Amino acid sequence: MTPDAKTTKTMKLYIYSLESNQHAATVTGETSEACERVAEETYGSNDFGWTYTPAFGFSDGLIENDEAKEIEV
């Protein structure tokens, strides 16, 4: 494994409003466990959900939001 491969963030977890399906934040990390831990700590309420497959632009997909936060773990 190259040094660059060790530092690559490979997982993206998309956090969204359950009421509107609007994208609220993207958590980027090396593992799903790391991403989900931050999501729970930061957005752990009944108002938000998260997914690894946002389906932006599709029926029942997330609605893009230029103001969504970018969080790296």
Long-range contact list for 47-52, CB < 8 A, 24+ apart? 47/17, 47/18, 47/19, 48/15, 48/16, 48/17, 48/18, 48/24, 49/15, 49/16, 49/18, 50/13, 50/14, 50/15, 50/16, 51/13, 51/14, 51/16, 52/11, 52/12, 52/13, 52/14
pLDDT tens, position by position, 23-61: 999 999 999 999 999 999 999 899 999 999 999 999 889
* Count of the separate structural domains present in the chain: 1
Model pTM score: 0.85
Q: Can you give the residue range of the structural domain that contains 65?
A: 3-72
